[in-house]
Amino acid sequence: MTITSMYKKILVAVDVSSEAHQVMQQARGLAKCFDATLQLIHVIEPVALNSPYELTPDLPIEMQHVQVERAKAFLAKLAMDFDLPDIRQEVRLGSTKRNILETAETEKIDVIVMGTHGRHGIGLLLGSTATSVLHGTPCDVYTVRIK
């Protein structure tokens, strides 16, 4: 295998924050180097609205719908901002780690690109999402140092 054929399919995991642009910038650079395809994923984790003691773990369906539509619009704009309007974009509901890893597996992804940190602060070397993806990844993971 030559170095340029190492990565053919790149999965870019983004949260819906301004850091997503830094992640995408690097991912696009990698895609150019390796002549690879890019695809975007964002995962929405259901959160409890009520007391943790009540058995209502999911957002009401209408709110979920609004969140999904907002996330889809965010991904579409991100792709447009990088002149890549046709790349595959996916919004999934559930565990962020599980959905990223499942997608990597089923789509036969060669490398996942994600930020070292996103919305969860820069207190640690790696944020919780990157750390959790590293535990169980079926492929390489490229972490983008968020400035």
| Cβ distance to ligand AMP smaller for residue 8 or 142 | 142
Return the amino acid letter for 85.
Answer: P
Residue 78 contacts ligand AMP per CB under 6 A: no
The answer to whether 36 and 7 are in contact (CB under 8 A) is: yes
Residue 28 contacts ligand AMP per CB under 6 A: no
Q: Which of 128, 137, 139, 140 touches ligand AMP (CB under 6 A)?
A: 128
Three-state secondary structure call for residue 21: helix
The Cα 26–Cα 133 span in angstroms is: 18
The Cα 43–Cα 7 span in angstroms is: 23
Residue 71 contacts ligand AMP per CB under 6 A: no
Matching residue, tokens 């930020």: 115
CB of 94 to ligand AMP, least distance (A): 10
| Site residues (vs ligand AMP, CB under 6 A) | 13-15, 19, 23, 41-43, 96, 114-115, 117-120, 127-130
